[in-house]
Amino acid sequence: MLFLVGLGLADEADITVKGLEVVKRAERVYLEAYTSILHVGKERLESFYGRPIIVADREMVESASNEILDGADKLDIAFLVVGDPFGATTHTDLVLRAQELSIPTKSIPNASILNAIGATGLQLYNFGQTVSMVFFTETWKPASFYDRIRENVSIGLHTLVLLDIKVKEQSLENMARGRKIYEPPRYMTVAQCAQQMLEIEEEKKESVYSEDSLAIGCARVGADDQRFACGTLKELCDVDLGPPLHSLVLLGKRAHELERDYIKSFAMDQKTFEQSWEKYHRRS
């Protein structure tokens, strides 16, 4: 059987008991290493699990999945995923490939950013569509996220923005020349996300959000050193929340007073927070 095992968000100890049992008896153990990262290295996982781990990069998962699935009709294979197994569509695709080969599959769920974001104090019922923010380039500034945020804003819901990570990426030149040379890892920060959001608003000029819109910058959610900073998008353009991974939540107008009472402790500036709340979130 192919087991997809969720690892949770922070370190080696976040795996569930059921997931750990699968890992300990599996013939091979793969770690998906490009849609997200833990805050500890492969060596810490191997020490805790007592098993060697094969790192599965994007190329292996998307182009060489047969290597992962080899023998899974007769043996147990564990595929480890940071967060929850189905937090990325790539893993759904892997299950479908296994099913085409008549390989049984089972998933072991765990915490993901989609539910752990409740640590901000915002109510999960008040979230709309989750969107992703990629690194802009001089010639490529995709803005599909803007339309999804507009839809959330129109019904007053919060928007969780997941930030880009670049792991084992090739430059265009190296890719064109077929050279297996990879760029250093890059992880988008809350400040970069806020800057790009305002850049797109400046281009669109549709007032979906503004410099004064309240948002929460989140860093290392689920870890012992998780951090939150609540401020306007303009304020968040200059925030430093430390190492990755980061995410951002744009507050919706339906925010409840209980949510306000909780998130104000994260406010970068209490006066600005109160002013923005009164302007955008006070209920009539």
The whole-number pLDDT of residue 172 equals 62
The whole-number pLDDT of residue 6 equals 96
Measure the CA–CA gap between 265 and 57, rounded to whole angstroms. 39
Q: Give the domain CATH number at 82.
A: 3.40.1010.10
96 plus 179 within the same structural domain? no
Measure the CA–CA gap between 130 and 123, rounded to whole angstroms. 14
75 plus 156 within the same structural domain? no
Q: What residues form the annotated binding site for S-adenosyl-L-methionine?
A: 9, 84, 87, 112-113, 163, 221, 246
Measure the CA–CA gap between 97 and 101, rounded to whole angstroms. 7
* Domain end point (choices 57, 84, 111): 111
- CB count in 10 Å sphere of residue 252: 23
Which structural domain range is residue 175 located in? 114-281
121 plus 261 within the same structural domain? yes
Kind and range of the H or E run holding 56? strand 54-56
Q: What residues form the annotated binding site?
A: 9, 84, 87, 112-113, 163, 221, 246
Residue 181 pLDDT exceeds 80: no
61 plus 159 within the same structural domain? no
Q: Which residues pair with 248 in a beta bridge?
A: 161, 217
Q: Which two tokens stand for residue 161?
A: 């923005």
Please state the domain count of the chain: 2
Residue 213 pLDDT class (50, 70, 90 cuts): very high
121 plus 105 within the same structural domain? no
* Domain end point (choices 84, 111, 138): 111
* Domain end point (choices 111, 135, 151): 111
161 plus 82 within the same structural domain? no
Measure the CA–CA gap between 126 and 24, rounded to whole angstroms. 39
- The answer to whether the CB of 83 falls within 8 A of the CB of 112 is yes
Alpha helices in 119-189 (DSSP H): 144-154, 172-176
107 plus 120 within the same structural domain? no
**Can you give the pTM of this predicted structure?**
0.92
Amino acid identity, position 132: S
Q: What is the pLDDT of residues 98-130, one digit of tens each?
A: 999 999 999 999 999 999 999 999 999 999 999
140 plus 194 within the same structural domain? yes
